[in-house]
A and B are shown apart, each in its own frame.
Chain A
Amino acid sequence: MSPNNLLTVSHSPHVFGSESVQKIMYRVLLAMVPAFAVSLIFFGVGALIVTGVAVVSCLVFEYLIARFLLKVKPTLWDGSAAVTGVLLAFNVPSNLPVWMIVVGSLVAIGIAKMSFGGLGKNPFNPALAGRIFLLVSFPVQMTSWPKAVESRFAYLDATTGATPLGIMKEGLKNGQPMVDLLKDIPDYGQMFLGNMSGSLGEISALALLLGGLYLLIKKVITWHIPVSILSTVVLFTGLMWLINPDKFADPLFHLLAGGVILGAIFMATDMVTSPMTPVGQIIFGVGIGLITCLIRLFGAYPEGVSFAILIMNAFVPLIDKYVKPKRFGEVVKHG
């Protein structure tokens, strides 16, 4: 018998599943590898520097805050800080200066995560909170997007251009006809592969979908949130497109451009900040889809996924309070 020959006594159950937080986080990291690879291909050095800095600074802040401010044992290797780092990097342009990334990481880890008590306690997605902080603080740097391929060997000196969403927003505002605008943006095949300007992780729908498929198979996420977000976006933009194809872009464009797929698969599905029940998750996803479309089509910003997710994050406690799983033996009564 182990220690001091004493029997161990504990409450049941006495066996446990093999799942752990680490495994989940490492799976998420693995699922982000294809998207990261694509950004290396299109943005090269910049993508490497930005991602590296974001991950390292998130880990360092997590360690320092846990150790010296909260005075708890740092749980660095649960992988959650690394996930936040990669997601933050995925949400910024690849030519962002190092110090800004560090500031973003500090906001993400320090304010959005640790100040609420660390992993599992944060109401808002930390990476998105960091991203939004950067966006409103440094709007110029956060919206100067390096051109894909051309800026492969450049970092701060990358040549920049507008994202497809930016081109669309600006053009429609200036009254350019839709036909001309569609010529200015890459064709949909290239957009699907990721050959366009944008945040470094959001560009390739293909790579993101691959990662999403892996997460679905490994049961890290369920289909409810991604599917409800994407189908809401398709339905809403499709409806507007049918009403007025000259004023509104087609739904496929809205799917492929911007961060909606990244958001739907990797950001909105963050377990900590999404509802617990499948029905709640669908409500959450539909909300994100709607807010995203409203911002994109009628708002001042060309892109609205991160705002949409953060806004819906705030509704999660409410959704969880009112959307409960159906209990066994709740309604049905037989004679």
Chain B
Amino acid sequence: MNTIVITIISLSVIGSLSGVILFLIAQKFKVFEDPRIDDVEGILPGANCGGCGFPGCRGFADACVKAESLDLMFCPVGGNDGMVKVAEALGRVAATKDPTVAVVRCAGSPDHRRRTNRYDSAMTCEIASGLYSGDTACSFGCLGLGDCTVVCTFDAIHMNPVTLLPEVDDAKCTSCGACVKACPKMIIELRKKNKKDRKIYVSCINMDKGASAKKACSVACIGCKACLKACEYDAITIENFLAYIDPVKCKLCRKCVEVCPTDSIQEINFPPRKKADVEVAVTETQANKTIMEGF
């Protein structure tokens, strides 16, 4: 009986003493943190993807609280809605951005792009690109070793085992930009997100002269300027034998796709065209245009 009492008393004394000491130390070493950082962090998606350019969501929250204005702050995962909430919490105005999505600008599947050698070292794109131009004749194209898939926090980009090219899942992609940074060939671009995930883009970044580009890959952009002439909206530029479609100026009319001799311009998520029926194609384009303008 005595033992029990002594035990209880001594343990209670030790416990409360420790508690007091802990409390005093906690007070002494307390770090003041703006409570708004916690609020903002609560609003953020918590993926810690680094797409905002800050180390993790808390880093971004901290930066948002400290920043003079939110003009340069943007969380691609939370998007405009998220930023509006952040701005409300801080009593400021959020900068809005058009939503974007990652696009892989290479279509050189093995059918189109001849393999010229066999790569046998550590299987990452970064290491392969540090060694040489790649295992195909095109020194610009995708290496197919999937560094972009490894860095994606959102499971939104996967290697297609047939084409050996990465494919972006538009629904999952938050355009955090991790894959863009990971790709040593700089193939991936964040482009404006359109209605129904429609996309028109040049799926090639080969800057060689047309002849050698074509020799390396049958779907390479050869810089022939056919699309430049076809485009009514001045959205296409050609530099270093390579066409680029400005996603903001592009009205998704698909005329460039029709004229491209090497099929290097992709149209994605469009309704199928009626064969050889130019009239219809044009009306459809008009319809699309109206939709877009109304948008």
Contact = CB atoms under 8 A, between A and B. Distances in A.
A335 interface: no
Interface size band for B: 10 to 19
A249 to B, nearest CB: 40
A8 interface: yes
A8 B116 contact: no
Contacts of A7: 117-118
Contacts of B116: 6
A7 B115 CA distance: 10
A7 B136 CA distance: 11
B120 A9 contact: yes
B115 A8 contact: no
Contacts of A4: 115, 118
B132 interface: yes
A11 B127 CA distance: 9
A10 B131 CA distance: 8
B147 interface: no
B3 interface: no
A8 B131 contact: no
Interface size band for A: under 10
Contacts of A8: 117-120
B265 to A, nearest CB: 30
Contacts of B117: 6-9
Interface in B180-194: none
Interface in B102-155: 115-122, 127, 131-132, 135
A3 interface: yes
Interface string A1-18: 001101111110000000
A10 B123 CA distance: 10
B135 A9 contact: yes
A10 B121 CA distance: 5
A125 B224 CA distance: 66
A3 B118 contact: yes
B131 A11 contact: yes
Interface of A: 3-4, 6-11
30 contacts: A3-B118, A4-B115, A4-B118, A6-B115, A6-B116, A6-B117, A6-B118, A6-B135, A7-B117, A7-B118, A8-B117, A8-B118, A8-B119, A8-B120, A9-B117, A9-B118, A9-B119, A9-B120, A9-B121, A9-B131, A9-B132, A9-B135, A10-B119, A10-B120, A10-B121, A10-B131, A11-B121, A11-B122, A11-B127, A11-B131
Given A6-B115, A7-B118, A9-B121, 12 more contacts: A4-B115, A4-B118, A6-B116, A6-B118, A8-B117, A9-B118, A9-B120, A9-B131, A10-B120, A10-B131, A11-B127, A11-B131
